[in-house]
Amino acid sequence: MPEGHFTVLKTSTKTSARRGILRTPHGIIQTPAFMPVGTKGSVKGMAPSDLIDLGVEMLLCNAYHLYLRPGCRFVEERGGLQKLLAWNRPILTDSGGYQVLSLNTLVRVNDEGVVFKSHLDGSRHAFSPEKAIEVQEALGADIIMSFDECLAYPSDYAKTSSSLKRTLLWARRSKEAHHLENQSLYGIIQGGFYPDLREVSLTGLLEIGFDGYAVGGLCVGEPKEMTFQTLQQIVPKIPAAFPRYLMGVGTPEDIVASVLLGIDLFDCVLPTRHARTGILFTSEGTLHIRNAKYAEDNQPLDPCCACYACRNFSRAYLRYLFMARELLALRLNTLHNLYYYLTLMKTLRAAIEDDSIEGRAFC
Report the chain's terminal Cα–Cα distance, integer Å: 35
Distance CA 15, CA 117 (A): 45
Query: What whole-number distance in Å separates Cα of residue 217 and Cα of residue 167?
Result: 12
Catalytic residue among 211, 254, 264, 267: 267
351 exposure class (CB count in 10 Å sphere: 0-12, 13-18, 19+): buried
CA distance 82 to 182: 14
Distance, in Å, from the CA atom of 267 to the CA atom of 255, rounded to the nearest integer, reads 10
Residue 246: closest CA among 271, 219, 220, 267: 267
Is 94 annotated as catalytic? yes
Cis peptide leading into residue 70 (ω within 30°): yes
Q: Are 342 and 34 in contact (CB under 8 A)?
A: yes
Catalytic-role residue among 94, 142, 254, 264 = 94
124 neighbors 116 (Cβ within 8 angstroms): yes
Beta pairing, strands 18-24 & 27-31: antiparallel
Q: Specify which residues 110 forms β-bridges with.
A: 113
Give the catalytic positions in this structure: 94, 267
